[in-house]
Amino acid sequence: MHLLNLYAIAVALAMDAFAVAIATGVTLKSVSMRQTFRLAWHFGLFQALMPVIGWSAGLSIRDAIAQFDHWIAFVLLAYVGGGMIRSAFKMEKDENEQKDPTKGMTMVMLSIATSIDALAVGFSLSIIHVSIWTPAVIIGVVAGVFTTAGIHLGKAISTTPRFSKYAEGFGGVVLLLIGLKILVEHGVFNSWGIF
Protein backbone atom coordinates (compact mmCIF):
# COMPACT_ATOMS: atom_id res chain seq x y z
CA MET A 1 0.00 0.00 0.00
CA HIS A 2 1.31 3.44 -0.94
CA LEU A 3 2.45 5.52 2.06
CA LEU A 4 0.33 8.51 1.02
CA ASN A 5 -2.81 6.35 1.00
CA LEU A 6 -1.87 5.06 4.42
CA TYR A 7 -1.54 8.58 5.83
CA ALA A 8 -4.89 9.54 4.29
CA ILE A 9 -6.52 6.56 6.01
CA ALA A 10 -4.81 7.45 9.30
CA VAL A 11 -6.03 11.06 9.12
CA ALA A 12 -9.58 9.96 8.29
CA LEU A 13 -9.58 7.56 11.26
CA ALA A 14 -8.15 10.27 13.55
CA MET A 15 -11.00 12.74 12.88
CA ASP A 16 -13.33 11.26 15.52
CA ALA A 17 -10.48 11.21 18.05
CA PHE A 18 -9.69 14.83 17.16
CA ALA A 19 -13.31 15.94 17.70
CA VAL A 20 -13.60 14.04 20.99
CA ALA A 21 -10.28 15.53 22.13
CA ILE A 22 -11.62 19.03 21.41
CA ALA A 23 -14.71 18.24 23.49
CA THR A 24 -12.47 16.92 26.27
CA GLY A 25 -10.32 20.07 26.24
CA VAL A 26 -13.47 22.20 26.37
CA THR A 27 -14.71 20.22 29.37
CA LEU A 28 -11.43 20.37 31.28
CA LYS A 29 -10.71 24.07 30.57
CA SER A 30 -7.25 23.63 32.14
CA VAL A 31 -5.24 20.83 30.53
CA SER A 32 -2.06 19.42 32.08
CA MET A 33 0.72 17.64 30.24
CA ARG A 34 -0.28 14.45 32.06
CA GLN A 35 -3.89 14.70 30.82
CA THR A 36 -2.66 15.41 27.30
CA PHE A 37 -0.33 12.43 27.37
CA ARG A 38 -2.96 10.09 28.85
CA LEU A 39 -5.57 10.94 26.25
CA ALA A 40 -3.15 10.98 23.29
CA TRP A 41 -1.52 7.73 24.42
CA HIS A 42 -4.81 5.87 24.87
CA PHE A 43 -6.46 7.18 21.70
CA GLY A 44 -3.29 6.38 19.74
CA LEU A 45 -2.93 2.95 21.34
CA PHE A 46 -6.55 1.97 20.67
CA GLN A 47 -6.35 3.33 17.10
CA ALA A 48 -3.25 1.17 16.56
CA LEU A 49 -4.68 -1.97 18.21
CA MET A 50 -8.08 -2.01 16.51
CA PRO A 51 -6.69 -2.54 12.97
CA VAL A 52 -4.47 -5.31 14.33
CA ILE A 53 -7.51 -6.99 15.91
CA GLY A 54 -9.50 -6.55 12.69
CA TRP A 55 -6.63 -7.84 10.58
CA SER A 56 -6.15 -10.86 12.86
CA ALA A 57 -9.83 -11.71 12.78
CA GLY A 58 -9.90 -11.45 8.98
CA LEU A 59 -13.16 -12.43 7.42
CA SER A 60 -14.19 -14.95 10.09
CA ILE A 61 -16.07 -12.49 12.30
CA ARG A 62 -16.36 -9.48 10.01
CA ASP A 63 -20.06 -9.79 9.28
CA ALA A 64 -20.97 -10.44 12.91
CA ILE A 65 -19.14 -7.34 14.17
CA ALA A 66 -20.15 -5.11 11.24
CA GLN A 67 -23.80 -5.52 12.19
CA PHE A 68 -23.43 -3.78 15.54
CA ASP A 69 -20.03 -2.02 15.81
CA HIS A 70 -21.58 1.38 15.04
CA TRP A 71 -24.15 0.87 17.82
CA ILE A 72 -21.38 0.15 20.33
CA ALA A 73 -19.63 3.39 19.35
CA PHE A 74 -22.90 5.35 19.52
CA VAL A 75 -23.91 4.01 22.95
CA LEU A 76 -20.48 4.74 24.45
CA LEU A 77 -20.39 8.29 23.05
CA ALA A 78 -24.02 8.94 24.05
CA TYR A 79 -23.35 7.73 27.59
CA VAL A 80 -20.31 9.97 28.09
CA GLY A 81 -21.87 12.91 26.20
CA GLY A 82 -25.12 12.63 28.14
CA GLY A 83 -23.19 12.70 31.40
CA MET A 84 -21.38 15.86 30.30
CA ILE A 85 -24.67 17.55 29.37
CA ARG A 86 -26.28 16.58 32.70
CA SER A 87 -23.25 17.89 34.56
CA ALA A 88 -23.39 21.19 32.65
CA PHE A 89 -26.98 21.80 33.82
CA LYS A 90 -26.39 21.10 37.50
CA MET A 91 -27.31 24.17 39.50
CA GLU A 92 -24.41 24.12 41.92
CA LYS A 93 -21.29 22.51 40.60
CA ASP A 94 -18.33 21.85 42.81
CA GLU A 95 -15.09 22.23 40.83
CA ASN A 96 -13.65 19.20 42.65
CA GLU A 97 -16.67 17.18 41.53
CA GLN A 98 -15.91 17.65 37.83
CA LYS A 99 -14.97 14.33 36.25
CA ASP A 100 -11.76 14.10 34.28
CA PRO A 101 -12.49 12.39 30.92
CA THR A 102 -8.79 11.44 30.67
CA LYS A 103 -9.12 8.99 33.58
CA GLY A 104 -10.78 5.66 34.27
CA MET A 105 -13.62 4.07 32.41
CA THR A 106 -14.62 7.30 30.67
CA MET A 107 -11.28 7.34 28.85
CA VAL A 108 -11.54 3.65 27.98
CA MET A 109 -15.07 4.12 26.59
CA LEU A 110 -13.99 7.14 24.53
CA SER A 111 -10.93 5.24 23.27
CA ILE A 112 -13.07 2.32 22.11
CA ALA A 113 -15.77 4.52 20.61
CA THR A 114 -13.31 6.62 18.58
CA SER A 115 -11.31 3.65 17.32
CA ILE A 116 -13.94 1.05 16.48
CA ASP A 117 -13.99 2.07 12.80
CA ALA A 118 -10.33 1.05 12.63
CA LEU A 119 -11.47 -2.57 12.94
CA ALA A 120 -12.87 -2.33 9.43
CA VAL A 121 -9.56 -0.97 8.16
CA GLY A 122 -7.82 -3.99 9.64
CA PHE A 123 -10.33 -6.30 7.94
CA SER A 124 -9.77 -4.53 4.63
CA LEU A 125 -6.00 -4.77 4.88
CA SER A 126 -6.24 -8.50 5.60
CA ILE A 127 -8.36 -8.96 2.47
CA ILE A 128 -5.77 -7.29 0.22
CA HIS A 129 -2.90 -9.11 1.99
CA VAL A 130 -1.16 -6.02 3.40
CA SER A 131 1.01 -6.44 6.48
CA ILE A 132 -0.66 -4.68 9.40
CA TRP A 133 2.32 -3.52 11.48
CA THR A 134 3.37 -0.38 9.57
CA PRO A 135 -0.23 0.80 9.05
CA ALA A 136 -1.04 0.20 12.74
CA VAL A 137 1.93 2.29 13.90
CA ILE A 138 1.13 5.13 11.49
CA ILE A 139 -2.58 5.10 12.43
CA GLY A 140 -1.70 5.16 16.15
CA VAL A 141 0.86 7.98 15.86
CA VAL A 142 -1.42 10.14 13.70
CA ALA A 143 -4.30 9.63 16.17
CA GLY A 144 -2.01 10.61 19.05
CA VAL A 145 -0.89 13.79 17.28
CA PHE A 146 -4.45 14.79 16.35
CA THR A 147 -5.61 14.07 19.90
CA THR A 148 -2.89 16.31 21.33
CA ALA A 149 -3.83 19.13 18.97
CA GLY A 150 -7.54 18.64 19.67
CA ILE A 151 -7.35 18.72 23.46
CA HIS A 152 -5.36 21.98 23.36
CA LEU A 153 -7.71 23.51 20.80
CA GLY A 154 -10.62 22.62 23.10
CA LYS A 155 -8.82 24.22 26.03
CA ALA A 156 -8.32 27.42 24.00
CA ILE A 157 -12.00 27.47 23.03
CA SER A 158 -13.13 26.99 26.63
CA THR A 159 -11.16 30.00 27.88
CA THR A 160 -13.22 32.32 25.69
CA PRO A 161 -15.35 34.16 28.28
CA ARG A 162 -18.61 34.02 26.31
CA PHE A 163 -18.21 30.31 25.72
CA SER A 164 -16.85 29.01 29.02
CA LYS A 165 -20.15 28.66 30.87
CA TYR A 166 -21.60 26.49 28.08
CA ALA A 167 -18.37 24.56 27.43
CA GLU A 168 -19.16 21.25 29.11
CA GLY A 169 -22.66 21.06 27.61
CA PHE A 170 -21.20 21.85 24.19
CA GLY A 171 -18.64 19.06 24.63
CA GLY A 172 -21.44 16.60 25.43
CA VAL A 173 -23.43 17.68 22.38
CA VAL A 174 -20.33 17.20 20.20
CA LEU A 175 -19.96 13.63 21.46
CA LEU A 176 -23.63 12.91 20.73
CA LEU A 177 -23.26 14.37 17.22
CA ILE A 178 -20.21 12.21 16.56
CA GLY A 179 -22.24 9.18 17.65
CA LEU A 180 -25.07 10.16 15.29
CA LYS A 181 -22.57 10.70 12.47
CA ILE A 182 -21.31 7.16 12.96
CA LEU A 183 -24.88 5.83 12.68
CA VAL A 184 -25.50 7.92 9.53
CA GLU A 185 -22.26 6.63 7.96
CA HIS A 186 -23.41 3.07 8.59
CA GLY A 187 -26.78 3.69 6.95
CA VAL A 188 -28.88 3.16 10.06
CA PHE A 189 -31.32 5.94 9.18
CA ASN A 190 -31.62 4.85 5.52
CA SER A 191 -33.78 1.94 6.57
CA TRP A 192 -35.98 4.37 8.52
CA GLY A 193 -36.35 6.67 5.51
CA ILE A 194 -34.81 9.64 7.36
CA PHE A 195 -31.70 10.16 5.19
59 falls within a domain: yes
190 falls within a domain: no
In this prediction, residue 184 carries a pLDDT of 85
In this prediction, residue 46 carries a pLDDT of 96
CB 167, CB 157: distance < 8 Å = yes
| Global pTM value | 0.77
In tens, the pLDDT along 32-57 reads 999 999 999 999 999 999 999 988 88
User: What's the chain's average pLDDT?
Assistant: 82
119 falls within a domain: yes
65 falls within a domain: yes
Which residues constitute the domain of residue 138?
3-185
Residue ranges of the chain with per-residue pLDDT less than 50: 91-92
In this prediction, residue 91 carries a pLDDT of 47
When divided into structural domains, the chain yields a total of 1
108 falls within a domain: yes
